[in-house]
Homo-oligomer: A and B are copies of this chain.
């Protein structure tokens, strides 16, 4: 699994790092401990200084890999989207029915990751939490347009497009496939956050898989003729 991963996972990220963190021990510690720390204290409070202390190194060393903490966040989110697309590929492979494929895709996009992915050093569960809470901060910036030009969000767009195309297979006349899918992805993030922190904004009861159920129903009803 590892070799395929390596092949699939590392796509668009060249713009986000100065030196590929996956190629050295220090780089990997930056990623692993970085994910832990962002999870723990939140991205706003996260600084390279604190991370450096945590990995018994210094800020200057981290700057060899990432230009800024914002770029590190971009790296993590693009990694996450590449990884998600890779998982999607596997989940949909050899499934002929478009409806079944869309079902699987929505499930994958709206459920929590639980499995352990061998061959990946990165803690995908924690990373997924970061994506839920912090990823929107990665694009809600004055720099979006420039970063978009640099192709940093390609992974996300590809994913949306790909699932959107399944929608079109089912209903070729549906006008807003991308809008629907990005609503589902961002919505699932929000609902998961609301469920934990602002429960009156959602109707999720802990333990149940309400989010997935809701979005599945929503998608299929919305695209029905």
Contacts and interface: CB of A to CB of B under 8 A. Distances in A.
A224 B224 CA distance: 12
Contact of A200 (B178, B193, B214): B178
A204 interface: yes
Given A137-B137, A187-B186, A200 B160 contact: yes
B202 A178 contact: yes
Nearest to A181: B201
Contacts of A222: 217-218, 221-222
A34 to B, nearest CB: 17
A179 B193 CA distance: 12
Interface stretch (A96-104, A118-126, A139-147): A139-147
A175 B189 CA distance: 19
A81 B187 CA distance: 19
A33 to B, nearest CB: 18
B200 A190 contact: no
A214 B142 contact: no
Given A136-B140, A140-B136, A202 B217 contact: no
A153 interface: yes
A197 B153 CA distance: 11
A222 B137 CA distance: 29
Interface stretch (A2-10, A22-30, A39-47, A84-92): A39-47
